[in-house]
Structure 1
Amino acid sequence: MDLNRQKKAPVYEALERFRKQRVVPFDVPGHKRGRGNPELVSFLGDRCVGIDVNSMKPLDNLCHPVSVIKEAEELMADAFGAAHAFMMVNGTTSAVQAMVLSHVKKGEKIIMPRNVHKSAINALILCGAIPVYIDPKVDTNLGIPLGMELSDVKKAIEDNPEAKAILINNPSYYGICSNLKAIVDLAHENGMKALVDEAHGTHLYFGPNLPLNAMAAGADMAAISMHKSGGSLTQSSILLCGPDANIGYISRIVNLTQTTSASYLLLGSLDISRRNLALNGASSFEKVTKMAQYAREEINDIGGYYAYGKELKNGGSIYDFDETKLVVNTRKIGLTGIEVYDLLRDEYDIQMEFGDLSNVMAYISIGDRLQDIERLAGALADIRRLYSKPEQSFFSAEYVTPIVKATPQEAFYAEKESLPIDETVGRISAESVMCYPPGIPILSPGEVITEEILGYIKTAMEKGCSMQGPESEDISELFVLK
């Protein structure tokens, strides 16, 4: 990485030059630097709406960058150790979909863990590729899915030698990392591309003593949520490419789904955040890791909770652990993670990242402060004292092994009918059902609906998980294949 060059922020600098020119706008957006919508200016401020502008020659165009955006993408690639980087304004969802759509077409196979984000499943609906799912191992005590075992990946390759690519989560939502380098090497040895959903791994490129990142492991592509741990605005992400990527073709794929009206607020935030990470990321994430470790110690001292870390590593399904993820298991205080999540928000004004049936997560990053960590630990101690119950057994894990009977595309577009959810056992689902966050489907199109899956969905709903996917707003009905 060229640190001197990384001091530049070409999109941000171009926007600042534009701001000073006081150009008369006869283009979109129609608010005309806020003059047409004073309430918007009051809400966001002059500086924000003043650079909410359309693409123009001085500011380049994200669909076909030739100047400042092109330079910003080159700097992004340099900072992340990639051959090329695409700035993405449709979130990491569009980056994951671009990875999948770039490498598999209708009828072709792609190997992936079943606990992928819904964006990967939706990409299969769009292109008609055939998923070869690897069921993750589960930790039934913690209630979380783990990484991909190398032996399971080898078997999937042996059984499906014609597969075009392998998709890998690194790290998972819970901070679990598979043996990334070994899986990438295995893919390449068998003529397959290695694609990495690294939505939760921006910091892996900058912080010391963190798990291996996708580009360092030799992956072909990686989708990165800069807005999660990298500090940019929500919905801004990047798509990284290795040296053998067909950039022209990938660019065409990206432009199939990405907006032609890219937000310069998002692009500017990506540019500034990349510069900040390149220049200050190592020291920033060293502090983040220490803060998360301090939080673990404080929370584990309370009793009843288990904030887990690198002690989980087993050389296989938990090859490594991302210590910046502060995940707290709540089972021993008799409350689900979602109940603790709700109590923290409603009674203590603390907003956590998510709660599931066994865990609650705090996303520790560059904007956190030590006093906030101490406030969280104090609130958790209070909750244990005031609200704890005898330990209960809700379910075995945050993952139910599916029975796949059709590809996501076949099921999504098939003739279907809506049934009360209790009458769907044994039928093939035409919809997805998931808790959001994290957006990992409990049920995907093409999978058989079982009593176990319905039990999981009902328990999650009863405990207050936010459910998404079906057309039925209250999840009382599901569309199934006729």
Structure 2
Amino acid sequence: MFINDMDNLPIINELKLFKKENYTKFFMPGHLQLVCKQDYTSVQKEVFGLLKEFEKDIFSFDVTEVNNFDNLANPNGIIQKSQEILSKDFGAKRAYFLVNGSTVGILSMVCAVTKNKDKIIIQKNSHKSVYNACKINDLSVVYIDTEKNNEFDIFEKMDLIKFENILNQNKDAKAVVITSPDYYGQNQNIEKLAKITHKYNMLLLVDSAHSPHYIYSEDFQKNAIYNGADIMVVSFHKTLPTLNQTALMFANNSLNDYVCDKLQEKLNIFQTTSPSYILLANIELTNNILKKYGKELYKNLKNNIENFKMHIKTLNKMLEKSDKNFYVKILNNDDFSRIVISTPNIKNTYKILKEEYKILPEMVNEKSIVFICNIFHTKHDFDLLYEAFKHISKKYLNIKGISLYTDRKDVFFKENVYEKKLSILNYLKENIGENCKKSIYSYPPGVPIVSEHEIINSEHIRYVSNIINNVEIDLFMG
């Protein structure tokens, strides 16, 4: 009904076109648009049915603060009770609903524990919301640099000795902000980092957006709160079957009531005053469902992923015997549900996955592709993924240097994205050797390529040049 009205309904029509593609999805949000699959297990069918029932009630659940619906900014009724249940489940002192995503939680936790002009220590590859929080309180920022894994084009885990040296050299810092797990399923050693941080009387704040599923299966590591972090933020929508913007912030028992109240105070500044009971109910329901079914769901998911990896291992052995110089390398990370794959000519690999097999991953960078796997993925999904990589390995010798720009009819979109990226590239070239006036981010994953005031060098220009034609990665200054 909307397709013929492209001019007046551009968002709706793009969503309709996307739906028609019928992709096999390995990206967030974790509900995967609630599309039923024929090979669901009995437990998957049960959970799917519960969420479809919730889907029917979305508009009737969209109410405001009338009757006994409590106040998100000052909860003392049903919202407070729900948060108490969640704090207990996650092992925290307090839980705070976030209806504007993890971003408002990160802004709130940084601003709650620092004052104007304070010093803070952060990972250089932190999410842009961490940088924005530092701007808001005009903080003096000390960066933690980590080594690069050039094989996958990702950052390695932090070195604990270097970490302590930085804290020892900046004893006046109020807090440390780290990301764990990162976009690629790598966990930092939170337990040891927390001990080091507390040794220097600092607070450990963890952007744990990609870990809400950790508490529902023993096959995952313990969450950041359990391992000693003072404050943790998680995004339900990234890995669980909830709507975009569903997230939570948790305060550990290490914090006194003053700091806990300060978190609520800051949250009330950054978060909308509209409670969105749809999002609150979605978080509450999903947590309740996964407490009951999570163990079996993640056991099934792990088995499917292990079988997929076994097939890839067999494929690589076959490729070693050939003369194709092709491989499918899988990152040895900590979160089994996050698959990160590197191949030669990664752009071509991505293009075949998307266009020939209708498999859509979460993201692609210069050397690897990220697949987010969750409770609604099935054996068929992973069989298809394996068949795609087997097919790609056979085609490899015949295809070279394909651009990620597809033959979109939306010329306006293509040209505007390209022009914006080109202007950023030109800025870097014109200012090489100078301080960058604003941070430059790639999205996803939303971490800086060049940080504000960092000296622009040739590596920054090379990196941006390589992604300028990648329509799947946005580039922006801010």
TM-score by length of 2: 0.77
Counterparts of 1:103-118 in structure 2, within 5 Å, are 103-118=113-128
Aligned match of 2:328? 305
Secondary structure at the counterpart of residue 371 of structure 1:
helix
What residue identity is the alignment partner of 2:310? E
Deviation string for 1:359-412 (max 9, x for gaps)?
1111111111111111111112222222457999xxxxxxxxxxxxxxxxxxxx
Question: Which residue is 1:120 aligned to?
Answer: 130
1:422-441 Cα offsets, whole Å, 9 max, x none, are 21112222222222111111
> RMSD of the alignment, in Å?
2.3
The structural deviation recorded for 1:285 is 2.2
SS at match of 2:125: coil
Instruction: Flag structure 1 segments of 5+ consecutive residues without an equivalent.
Output: 1-43, 311-320, 393-416, 472-482
Alpha-carbon displacement from aligned partner over 1:195-221 (angstroms, at most 9, x marks no partner):
111111112222213223111111111
Amino acid at match of 2:469: E
Q: Deviations over 1:297-347 (max 9, x none)?
A: 22333331011335xxxxxxxxxx2222111111xxx312x4433332222
CA distance in 2, matches of 1:266, 1:193: 30
- Paired residue total: 390
User: Paired residue for 1:342?
Assistant: 351
- 1:376 correspondence with 2:389: no
* Cross-structure match for 1:452: 459
CA distance in 1 between counterparts of 2:230 and 2:397 reads 47
CA 1:322–1:105: 2 relative to 1, 3 Å = same
Find the counterpart in structure 2 of residue 329 from structure 1.
Answer: 342
Are residues 1:197 and 2:210 paired?
A: no
Please give the alpha-carbon distance, in whole angstroms, between the structure 2 residues aligned to 1:434 and 1:389. 34
Q: Tell me the secondary structure at the aligned position of residue 359 of structure 2.
A: coil
Q: Which runs of 5+ in 2 are unaligned?
A: 1-53, 317-326, 402-423
**Matched AA of 2:291:** A
Deviations 1:131-179 (CA, angstroms, capped at 9, x unpaired): 2111112222332211111111111111100111111211111111222
Asked if the contact 1:433–1:469 (Cα under 8 Å) also holds between the matched residues in 2, the reply is yes
Cα distance, 1:271–1:46 mapped onto 2, change above 3 Å: closer
Cα gap change, 1:74 to 1:389, in 2 (>3 Å): farther
Please report how far the alpha carbon of residue 46 of structure 1 lies from its aligned counterpart in structure 2 after TM superposition.
6.3
Secondary structure of the residue aligned to 1:309 is coil
In the aligned structure 2, how far is the partner of 1:90 from the partner of 1:231? 17
SS in 2 for 1:176: coil
Match of 2:176 in 1: 166
SS of equivalent to 2:204: strand
**Aligned residue for 1:400?**
none
Aligned to 2:49: none
Q: Work out whether residues 348 and 400 of structure 2, in 8 Å CA contact, stay in contact via their aligned partners in 1.
A: no
How far the C-alpha of 1:464 sits from its partner, in A, is 4.3
Decide whether aligned partners of structure 1 residues 389 and 110 sit closer, same or farther in structure 2, where only a CA change above 3 A counts: farther
Q: Distance in 2 between matches of 1:464 and 1:434?
A: 15
Moved more, 257-266 or 296-305: 296-305
Q: Distance in 1 between matches of 2:251 and 2:297?
A: 25
CA drift of 1:84 comes to 0.6
Q: Does residue 275 of structure 1 match 2:284?
A: no
Verify the 8 A CA contact 1:149 1:178 in the aligned structure 2. Answer: no
Q: Secondary structure at the match of 2:296?
A: helix
1:228 to 235, 238, 241: 238
Q: 1:207 to 1:253 in 2, by over 3 A?
A: same
The correspondence for 1:289, drawn from 302, 323, 331, is 302
The CA deviation string for residues 30-66 of structure 1, in whole angstroms up to 9 with x for no partner, is xxxxxxxxxxxxxx98632222222223221211111
| Partner-residue secondary structure (3-state), 1:177 | coil
Moved more, 132-141 or 458-467: 458-467
Q: Say if 2:210 and 2:234, in contact at 8 Å, map to a contact too.
A: yes
Question: How far apart are the structure 2 equivalents of 1:339 and 1:430?
Answer: 34
Residue-by-residue CA offset, 1:446-481 (whole Å, 9 max, x unaligned): 22211111111111213445123237xxxxxxxxxx
Aligned residue in 2 for 1:441:
448
Is 1:148 matched up with 2:162? no
2:79 equivalent to 1:69: yes
Does residue 427 (structure 1) correspond to residue 434 (structure 2)? The answer is: yes
d(CA) in 1 for partners of 2:400, 2:121: 38
Matching residue's letter, 1:56? V
Once the two structures are TM-superposed, the CA of residue 418 in structure 1 deviates from its matched residue by: 12
**Distance in 1 (alpha carbons) for counterparts of 2:63 and 2:99:** 14
In the alignment, is the contact (CA less than 8 A) between 1:198 and 1:223 conserved in 2? Answer: yes
Closer, same or farther in 2 for the Cα pair 1:165/1:420, shift >3 Å? closer
Q: What are the residue-to-residue correspondences of 1:208-247 with 2, within 5 Å?
A: 208-245=218-255, 246-247=259-260
Following the alignment from structure 2 to structure 1, what is the Cα–Cα distance between the partners of residues 442 and 308? 26
| Structure 1 length-normalised TM | 0.76
Rounded Cα–Cα distance in structure 2 between residues aligned with 1:418 and 1:168: 29
1:50 has 2:60 as partner: yes
In 1: Cα distance, 2:216 partner to 2:130 partner: 26
Q: Please, which of 261, 270, 274 is the counterpart of residue 248 of structure 1?
A: 261
- 2:469 matches 1:462: yes
Q: Which has the higher contact order (CA 8 A, sep 6+)?
A: 2
Contact 2:168/2:200 (<8 A) preserved: no
Letter in 1 for 2:357: Y
> Equivalents in 2 of 1:119, 1:359: separation in Å?
24
Partners of 1:99 and 1:54 lie apart in 2 by: 26
C-alpha distance in 2 between matches for 1:419 and 1:387: 33
Could you tell me whether the CA contact under 8 Å between 1:428 and 1:448 is conserved in 2? Answer: yes
Mapped contact 1:435–1:465 kept (Cα < 8 A): no
**Which of 371, 374, 377 is residue 365 of structure 1 equivalent to?**
374
For residue 188 of structure 2, the aligned residue among 178, 181, 185 is 178
Q: 1:165 to 1:184 in 2, by over 3 A?
A: same
For 1:136 and 1:202, the matched residues in 2 are separated by 25
Give the match's secondary structure for 2:241: coil
What is the identity, as a one-letter code, of the residue corresponding to 1:126?
Answer: I
